[in-house]
């Protein structure tokens, strides 16, 4: 999303003054979508790099932001030592969106339990990686990501999967 000036306080807290990395763009978009906030761009839209434009036009991310339920996200996990964070937003469809954010300085996997976001420990949950547009399969109990790069985010949708699908 291009050059972004920042204050000395921002630089001290890990911001890249003058530029935003692709990982930081994904983190900004994820938190914006989960916050149900208006997206404001203060740059020359015609000059936005292709990768950034594709991120801005990602229909799954836009749908998360524009969800009819309009719920605000909240942070359900924060580890000050590692910089790992987990953010959650409920959708009108019954899905739950989770952003696993690595604010640390080293790549790391991030784990969470489904109980932390409102599912029981025994619920089967279908996970989808929103940015990769790929299924991560059905999980029970919780999830551990592959290593997430510094300042990057894994944006997931989670959908309850019934144990029984036959009519009783």
pLDDT in tens, 46-89: 888 888 889 998 999 999 999 999 999 999 999 999 999 999 99
Q: In what order do the strands lie in the sheet with 74-79?
A: 74-79, 84-90, 96-102, 153-161, 124-129, 134-140
* Mean per-residue pLDDT, 100-113: 97
Q: Tokens 């719920």 — which residue?
A: 71
Averaged over 112-125, what is the pLDDT? Answer: 95
Indicate the CATH number for domain 8-161.
Answer: 2.60.40.1180
Round to whole Å and give the CA distance between 78 and 118.
17
Give the pLDDT score at 88. 98
Distance from C-alpha of 160 to C-alpha of 125, rounded to nearest angstrom: 5
Q: How many CB atoms lie within 10 A of CB 114?
A: 22
Q: What is the pTM of this model?
A: 0.86
Structural element, H or E, at residue 111: strand 111-113
Q: How confident is the model at residue 41 (pLDDT cuts 50, 70, 90)?
A: confident
pLDDT of the residue at 23? 95
Average the pLDDT over 41-48 and give the result.
Answer: 79
Q: What is the pLDDT confidence band of residue 40, given thresholds at 50, 70 and 90?
A: confident
End-to-end CA distance of the chain: 53
pLDDT of residue 2: 45
Q: For residues 63 and 55, give the distance between their C-alpha atoms in angstroms, rounded to a whole number.
A: 13
pLDDT cut 90: percent of the chain above it: 68
For 9-13, 139-143, 149-153, which range has the lowest pLDDT when averaged over its residues?
A: 9-13
pLDDT at 146 (0 to 100): 98
Domain borders along the chain are: 8-161
Question: How far is the C-alpha of 116 from the C-alpha of 99, rounded, in Å?
Answer: 13
> Above 50 in pLDDT, residue 42?
yes
Distance in angstroms (rounded) separating the CA atoms of residues 84 and 7: 24
């Amino acid at each position: 999303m291009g050059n972004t000036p920042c204050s000395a306080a921002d630089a001290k807290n890990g911001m890249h003054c003058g530029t935003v990395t692709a990982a930081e763009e994904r983190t900004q978009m994820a938190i914006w979508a989960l916050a149900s906030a208006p997206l404001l761009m203060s740059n020359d839209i015609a000059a936005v790099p292709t990768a950034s434009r594709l991120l801005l036009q990602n229909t799954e991310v836009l749908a998360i932001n524009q969800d009819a339920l309009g719920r605000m996200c909240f942070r359900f996990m924060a580890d000050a030592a590692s910089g790992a964070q987990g953010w959650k937003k409920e959708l009108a469809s019954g899905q739950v969106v989770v952003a696993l954010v690595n604010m640390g300085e080293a790549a790391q996997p991030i784990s969470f339990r489904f109980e932390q976001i409102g599912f029981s420990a025994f619920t089967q949950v279908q996970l989808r990686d929103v940015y990769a547009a790929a299924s991560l399969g059905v999980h029970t109990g919780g999830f551990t990501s592959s290593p997430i790069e510094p300042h990057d985010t894994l944006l997931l949708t989670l959908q309850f999967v019934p144990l029984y699908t036959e009519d009783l």
